[in-house]
């Protein structure tokens, strides 16, 4: 059998890779890709805690489904923002979008 620690270490690694993507990528779409990786790492943790805790309590799986819905909403609004920005400024590089920077 697989101990709980393996899943938690995998999720921690996936989260850290996603964090690196968010902090280091230049393209706004690539930053959103990093956010997706982080949300998936969180979901692995939620499902693992459901399986290794009380299996009759469905809280972990329900929470994972809510995270699915939030991720879908986040991607839809985020990509709409990126497309809108591209239409006005014709760039999606995050450091060139400095209109609010004084």
Partner 1 sequence: MTGEQVIFLIVGAVTLIAALMVVTVRDLVHAALWLVATLFGVAIIYTLLNAGFLAVVQVVVYIGAIAILFIFAVMLTRRQAADTGAALNKNWWAGALMAMLAFAGLIFMLQSWSGFQKQAAAIPLGFDAVNQLGSALTSPAGFVLPFEVASVLLLAALVGAVYLAFNKK
Q: Which of residues 49-78 bind partner 1 (CB under 8 A)?
A: 50-52, 55-56, 58-59, 61-62, 64-66, 68-77
Distance CA(59)–CA(62), nearest Å, equals 5
87 contacts partner 1 (rule: CB under 8 A): yes
Distance CA(47)–CA(67), nearest Å, equals 11
- CA distances 9 to 41, 48, 93, 97, Å, are 10, 11, 32, 36
- Whole-number minimum distance, CB 42 to partner 1, in Å? 11
Contacting partner 1 within 12-41 (CB under 8 A) = 12-27, 29-30, 32-34, 36-37, 40
- Whole-number minimum distance, CB 91 to partner 1, in Å? 8
- Whole-number minimum distance, CB 60 to partner 1, in Å? 9
Say how many C-beta atoms besides its own lie within 10 A of residue 54's C-beta. 10
């Amino acid at each position: 059998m697989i101990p709980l620690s393996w899943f938690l270490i995998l999720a921690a690694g996936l989260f850290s890779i996603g964090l690196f993507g968010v902090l280091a990528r230049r393209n706004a779409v690539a930053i959103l890709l990093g956010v997706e990786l982080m949300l998936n790492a969180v979901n692995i943790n939620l499902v693992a805690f459901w399986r290794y805790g009380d299996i009759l309590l469905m809280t972990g799986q329900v929470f994972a489904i809510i995270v699915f819905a939030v991720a879908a909403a986040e991607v839809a609004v985020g990509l709409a923002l990126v497309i809108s920005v591209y239409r006005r400024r014709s760039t999606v590089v995050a450091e060139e979008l400095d209109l609010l920077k004084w």
